[in-house]
Amino acid sequence: MKEKLKDDKFVKDLLYKFLSLLIIAIVALLLLNVMTQNKDGRTQIIDEDGGTEYWETTASTLEERKLERILSSIKGVGDVSVMLTYEDTGNSNDIFSNEGAKSGGEVKGAIITAAGGADAVAKRNILEAVTALFNIPVQNVKVYEKIEEGNK
């Protein structure tokens, strides 16, 4: 019976068509997976107005948001983003987690990007405000000029 099926041209043709279709389906699924894969770790959000924006998955602490509000109100500083680091309390080794803030750890450093970060007076005002607020040395605070949205 096997030998009869091996020699039958119709069965061979049907087998080749089935294998070809299976290979095409596998390639199509792989291409679909590659084309829809999110490679940079950001999640795409669609607003009510139909626009899209990317949302970073890291959340800022309450202290960082308060500091951003205060610093952005200083003359010449402009739009501000803040990242604070905390004393190691033994809870977490990840500087990007919010464990330090939750466990009452003290701020040990700050990175600030500001639209007016290139201006010497604005930079000095930011440094003085942050060092006075958290009682940390000036070398633990870094201030950089923020990239404009259109120049990324």
For residue 61, what is the DSSP state? P
Q: Please name the residues in contact with 134: beta carbons below 8 A apart, sequence gap of 6 or more.
A: 84, 106, 107, 110
Distances (CA, A) of 113 to 14, 56, 78, 79, 82: 65, 16, 10, 8, 7
* Per-residue pLDDT reduced to its tens digit, 102-131: 445 788 999 999 998 888 999 999 999 999
* Per-residue pLDDT reduced to its tens digit, 10-57: 888 888 999 999 999 999 998 887 777 666 555 555 656 655 554 444
Q: What whole-number distance in Å separates Cα of residue 149 and Cα of residue 53?
A: 12
CATH superfamily placement of domain 62-151 = ANL, C-terminal domain (3.30.300.30)
